[in-house]
Amino acid sequence: MAYTMTPTPAGPIGSQYCVCKVELSICGQNLLDRDVTSKSDPFCVLFMEVNGKWVELDRTETAVNNLNPAFAKKFIIDYHFEEVQKLKFALFDQDKSSTQLYEHDFLGEFSCTLGTIVSSKKITRTLLLGNGKPAGKGMITIAAQELSDNRVITLSMAGRKLDKKDLFGKSDPFLEFHKPGDDGKWMLVHRTEVIKYTLDPVWKPFTVPLVSLCDGDMEKLIKVVCYDYDSDGGHDFIGEFQTSVARLCEAQDASPLELECINPKKQKKKKNYKNSGIIIVKSCKITRDFSFLDYILGGCQLMFTVGIDFTASNGNPQEPSSLHYINPLGTNEYLSAIWAVGQIIQDYDSDKMFPALGFGAQLPPDWKVSHEFAINFNPRNPFCSGVEGIVQAYSACLPHIRFYGPTNFSPIINHVARFAAQATQQETASQYFILLIITDGVISDMDETRHAVVQASKLPMSIIIVGVGNADFAAMEFLDGDSRVLHSHTGEEAVRDIVQFVPFRNFRNVPKETLAKAVLAELPQQVVQYFKHQNLPPINSEPA
């Protein structure tokens, strides 16, 4: 998810919002030849699944006489991490000028999620016919690229010998930055703070997106205006100048750039007018403000682990009243939560092998209580293949364990934290760990859990807790630091908020996609926040 800042007219940068578009480039290889006298004339159609139906989004141009087309037309799609976005790419040989697809010969198709494409950046797959068999040797290659300009500019500005505007004192100067709008008028982009009682102000450094300041065009003219602040809003004009970001970039820490601040009226009236002061660009730096999608396209893998609560308060899994009872439809709240989160995250892990752990149960053969056991009973290899593998292991283990207690979270949190700590030794943005804990109730080891979460907040790791059943989940809300910073029992603060808690009962009567959106909403920000805090760019990032 690309998070861009929206500049508010009055000064600082506004709230973050998601404006993420992905561009998909399509190539075909060894397509079926449907034309008798010449080669096929292929074009590609993109469909997206909406409410269970395939809806056409766009088409490429037609490549004449070409079995290995590279289409110039790109597909542009809004990307939503927290949704499963199913896409289908269908190739046809154009036979007539008709827009109806049944009028053209079918050359094969390929379906996948947008998540699969962005997590690989580029994929090549076999084209299939309607019967599921390969379309000859036909292949399709799809490459993804984010379409947002993530460059930001940080400016450090000062003034010298500005005109005095106040009768009984000096000026109270501030700067405004404008760019040309579509209507030809100047549009306010940023306003600095006011520096009181001085003709030699030094403003605080500020950062704005390059797109906001100059539409990403370094040569575009921008206007900088200096005013003297008046509390009644009738600010006095001191002077202005026009420049470009390219020119501002000439400023270095050792050699600042000096620009004359001109008042055109004074310039016309006075013959010996020089300027109304000097505006100094002390430094100008352009960097990249990396987004979640930048990290994913750069090769970051999301490492998914599930922790399942098998304490006695869940009830006997043989009885319909139990939260672990699998109903005739083959599901329960535990399975619903695993599916909702897992089906999205699995696209971002190349091997799709996920550890699934249980806690709060007695295990055969000696019936000792464990708070950190592999639900496939293979402690050396607790990995399950895909979400289906987790579901199978969960169903298979239920008859072989005894539900017990207490409800201890810290062993599983510390288990995943050990792997996250190992990943930090690579010093690259290559892995981020996500622990999904599904539980029915009150945490027994709250002090240890708080301590484990605070320590984990320093690592590439997030924790999602889904509360099932109708218990009091006040302690879970406490761990989710949305409203206040979490402290450990020793008083240490969490470096960042890494816990997202949702009660499943709020999602019982809504589409299953709604749960995924709720629990995964904060994850992209948490990933970006961690890697930025560590000064780690995406693995394959380009300099600004």
pLDDT above 50 (res 462): yes
Higher pLDDT, 36 or 89: 89
- Give the residue, 233 or 364, on which the prediction is more confident: 364
Name which of 101-105, 166-170, 266-270, 502-506 the model is least confident about: 166-170
User: How far is Cα of residue 410 from the mean position of the Cα atoms in its chain?
Assistant: 28
What gap in Å lies between CA 391 and CA 538, rounded to an integer? 33
Rounded Cα distance between 450 and 472, Å, is 18
Closest of 465, 461, 462, 464 to residue 442, by C-alpha: 465
- Residue 458 in this model has a pLDDT that exceeds 80: yes
- Looking at per-residue confidence, does 487 or 369 come out higher? 369
Span 453-467, mean pLDDT?
96
Using one digit for the tens of pLDDT, what is the confidence trace for 516-525?
999 898 899 9
At 165, the pLDDT band (50, 70, 90 cuts) reads: confident
pTM, entire model:
0.81
**pLDDT (0 to 100) of residue 18:** 44
Mean pLDDT across 135-158: 93
Position with higher pLDDT, 483 vs 216 = 216
pLDDT at site 336:
93
Percentage of the residues of the chain whose pLDDT score is greater than 90:
78
Average pLDDT, the chain: 91
Mean pLDDT of 212-231: 94
Looking only at the bridges linking them, the beta strands covering 13-18 and 3-7 are: antiparallel
- pLDDT score recorded for residue 4: 25
Digit-coded pLDDT (tens) for 353-407: 999 999 999 999 999 999 999 999 999 999 999 999 999 999 999 999 999 999 9
Identify which of 416, 403, 341 has the alpha carbon closest to the alpha carbon of residue 82: 341
Q: Does residue 7 register a pLDDT over 70?
A: no
Res 12: pLDDT: 30
Instruction: Average the pLDDT over 150-161 and give the result.
Output: 95
Output the pLDDT for position 11: 30
Question: Quick one: tokens of 397?
Answer: 């283990």
- Residue with the two structure tokens 């979490």: 486
Ordered domains of the chain (ranges, CATH): 20-147 (2.60.40.150), 151-288 (2.60.40.150), 297-472+483-534 (3.40.50.410)
Confidence category of residue 481, pLDDT binned at 50, 70, 90: low
- Asked if the model's pLDDT at residue 168 lies above 90, the reply is no
Cα angle at 505 between 500 and 507, to 5 degrees?
75
Q: What pLDDT is recorded for position 2?
A: 28
CB-side exposure of 107: number of CA atoms within 13 Å? Answer: 31
